[in-house]
Structure 1
Amino acid sequence: MIGKLIELPKITDPRGNLTVAEGALHIPFDIKRAYWVYDVPGGESRGGHAHRQCRELLVPVGGAFHVTLDNGRERETHLLNHPWQGLLIETGIWRTLEDFSSGAVCLVLASEPFEESDYIYDYDDFLKYVGCSR
């Protein structure tokens, strides 16, 4: 398995549920950056890159979407639709997010601050980075 689903603490309450994620406690890194993706038009995708050093946890805080992970040798697709679950993506993994439901929001918790040089945007460059060829 390329990605790992992580169950986050879900506190059930008749007034509404709550989920928490603490860095180095619930997820295997300290959180250095958080951002969210939303209002993705139908038929569009996000991601389309890999990271050299940054690890990420993707959490569907609203709605649902699919995440396809690729390590250069195999691919797997995850449906994210539970706000108490996150998908852990390690370094050197190509990711694509697609099929966003109406109103979907993807929260990303990252192990590193933004650094342009950490991104691999070209798939052929990614394959070279992980030692694979087409």
Structure 2
Amino acid sequence: MSTTAPHPADHPTESGATTAGTDGGNVTGAGWNPAAADCPSRRLFTTLGDRWNMLILLSLEAGPLRYRDLRGHVDGISEKVLSGRLATLVDDGLLTRTAYPEIPPRVVYELSALGRSALLPVHELFDWTVAHMSEVAAHQVHPAV
């Protein structure tokens, strides 16, 4: 007798609702509804969709960096924003943070395996942006009526 494990989308969320749906609403093929406030995918969408987070992930693609080096790679990011985004990326398992017991203290950030796997969609979005930048700019200059 074979059994099939339920899809994660069929598990209840914090509110008790399931993320799978059959009402014809905004539900993806996997049964997740990222438009629903209690969909588990929402936090990750927010994390990956953040411009600073994408730039941090891309900056770490070549290898680990110290905080001050990351600050130099990501032009325009404030110290407060960088610190917050790094903490979120570490909490979500996309980065590792290694503190070395030295004087002065040295902290290095590096992509985890999970973070490295997130680079594929980040690169795809970047490639799409480059391919369509002039088209988007044309709409910004001459909005459609």
Structure with max Cα Rg:
2
Structure with the largest fraction of strand:
1
Structure with the largest fraction of helix:
2
**Same fold, TM-score > 0.5, yes or no:** no
Greater RCO (Cα-Cα under 8 Å, separation 6 or more): 1
